[in-house]
Amino acid sequence: MYQLAREAAGRGYPRARWLAAAAYDRWCMYEGRPQKHGTQFVPDGVRHRLWDVDPTTTDAERAAWDVPPLAEQLGRADEMTRTEPQPPMVGAPAWLKAAIERWGKSG
């Protein structure tokens, strides 16, 4: 998906920029790595949170891929926490369970 969306963006299809960023971020998330752009949100059993983001990615880079600034994405996670229920965590995938455990240990 990422490669196709990136190619479409490169060929001038602007809507593909966000899709390419989101597909890349999802791939990183599934591998347990920080996402680059900040498009992926996950429940942690208590709240919704923005998946870990690579701190070297700038808001200018995000804008180039049609992704809102990091502060706006963090605000979206807060809004999701207020408006969306937490799903049951019993069947959560291993990569999410590992992250929840890591987040619990880090504060």
Q: What is the pTM assigned to this prediction? A: 0.89
Range(s) of the domain holding residue 66? 2-105
**How many structural domains comprise the chain?**
1
Q: pLDDT averaged over consecutive 10-residue blocks of the chain (107 residues)?
A: 80 90 96 97 95 98 97 98 92 92 80
CA atoms within 13 Å, Cβ hemisphere of 29: 22
CB 51 within 8 Å of CB 25: yes
Distance CA 101, CA 47 (A): 14
Which amino acid does the sequence have at 64? A
Return the pLDDT at 11.
85
Return the pLDDT at 62.
98
Return the pLDDT at 13.
83
